[in-house]
Amino acid sequence: MARGGGSGFGLENLPRIARGKGSYLFDESGNAYLDGSGGPAVFCLGHAHPEVNAAIMNQLESLAYAYRYLFTSTALESLTEHVKRVSGNCFRDVLYSSDGSEAVESALKVALQFFAARGLMKKRRFIARERSWHGNTLGALSVSGFAARRRAFEGSLLDVAFVSAANAYRPPAGGTPGCLASFLASELEQKILLLGPDTVAAFIFEPIVGAAGGVVPAPPGYVTAIQAVCRKYDVLLIADEVMCGAGRSGTWRATEYDGVVPDIMSIAKGLAGGYIPLGATLVTPEISAAILAEHGAYLTGHTFSGHTAACAAGLAVQRIIERDGLLERVRTTGASFQESVRRSLDRFEEVGDVRGRGFFIGIELVRDRRTRAPFAPERRLSYDVGQRAFADGLICYPCSGNVDGMAGDTIILAPPYNARDVELEEITTKLSRAIAGALGDRG
């Protein structure tokens, strides 16, 4: 079916959305779109789930929202207890916000407040990684190694130090796949020593890099190694799981795969599944104890923190995920889905890498598979693929700049956790067709 009303990748002439059901969206012209990326990896239960809608309506009939700093609520308290339990009972406090950028911003502020509470006011610096993305607020943008998105704001960002991306497909000079974790941990240690351990507050990273890298899981041993470095120098470890967490990778915490608990963790997208905007910052007992003993409260928060109806939506989403065993489905079906994508695309020499974990898969497109040389940025290959897929009724998530901030093309797939097998097959078929069209028909 032809798709009218624009490509879906500009702000003009977009198709007007009418409704959603399950893994599909429908515009006012009757065109159907299979949501193969969950928007930007948000819609973990698809669209218009009747139980989530009912939970929201029930909450709205009683009360939409009460200011968090005057009232608590059953929805907030129940969601907090659920999140603490499914995240492994590793965190004491859950600080709510409205999205991932706010959740990261709060994580940075909590780290600074922790050292202020201990009288260590020189520990103000952050270290982050190249090829990372942490959000659109100025603090979150400051710790993001995403040149194209930073450029317009340079001069007003925090002074943040950066270390290499943890990418086994594109290791830094001197780093080999077999010893990449130790190489990168050593680089982090040297950066801390260069800045002065008494000045560094925290290191922030994505356990699985999303938009900035095209789904890049941390190499084996990496998270354990960097945690050891951080502990050695009294530097906090912040895990940004806004995109990869809340079950997207098959475990509720992505760092659970590595057997590591960060000091602070941000979550958002899959927390309420896009039904109402919701994010959160999780804080371990040690961090909490120091802050509350000295200041009595966290010095971060927003007007809509802990929004009552948003918490009701999040609680419904999380209960369904647990009840229906969807994390197990993401783990098991995710592996076979990734292999199916890999087989389907193997005929294209321009597909350099297919990677990921669970229902979080990245495809990297290269000009030369042997040298891994990227296409020229002006080719805009990933967006060409994305537009062709959209015209064919498939939503995927094209990204660029994963190599050096400008060059590099990736496609992200992040279907709902409850997507049916036949829908996963449709994603694979339509993506292959879009890539063929963008590269020149391969039959």
Chain segment 74-129, per-residue pLDDT in tens: 999 999 999 999 999 999 999 999 999 999 999 999 999 999 999 999 999 999 99
For residue 58, the one-letter residue type is N
pLDDT in tens, 125-173: 999 999 999 999 999 999 999 988 999 999 999 999 999 999 999 999 8
Q: Is 409 helix (H, G, I), strand (E, B) or coil?
A: strand
pLDDT bracket for residue 441 (50, 70, 90): low
In this predicted structure, the answer to whether residue 7 has a pLDDT above a threshold of 50 is: no
The pLDDT, as a whole number, for residue 9 is 54
Does residue 405 surpass a pLDDT of 90? no
Please enumerate in sequence order all residues whose Cβ is within 8 A of that of 348, keeping only pairs 6 or more positions apart, or say none.
435, 436, 439, 442
Partners of 94 in the β-ladder: 282
Mean pLDDT of the residues in the chain: 95
Residue of 395, 426, 380, 383 lying closest to 15 (CA atoms): 395
- pLDDT, tens digit, 9 for 90 and up, residues 214-270: 999 999 999 999 999 999 999 999 999 999 999 999 999 999 999 999 999 999 999
Q: What is the pLDDT of residue 10?
A: 62
Helices (H), 65-123: 74-86, 100-117
> Class of 52-323 per CATH?
alpha beta
pTM of the model: 0.95
In the chain, CATH 3.90.1150.10 sits at 17-35+325-439
Residue 277 phi, psi dihedral angles, 5° rounding? -55, 130
User: For 375-395, what is each residue's pLDDT tens digit?
Assistant: 999 999 999 999 999 999 999
Q: List where CATH 3.40.640.10 sits in the chain.
A: 52-323
Please report the pLDDT score of residue 2 as a whole number: 35
In whole angstroms, give the CA distance from residue 213 to residue 403.
8
Largest CA distance in the chain: 67
Confidence of residue 184 (pLDDT cuts 50, 70, 90): very high
CA pair distance 211, 68, nearest whole angstrom: 32
17-35+325-439 under CATH 3.30.465.10, yes or no: no
Q: Is the dihedral of CA 412, 18, 98, 250 positive or negative?
A: negative
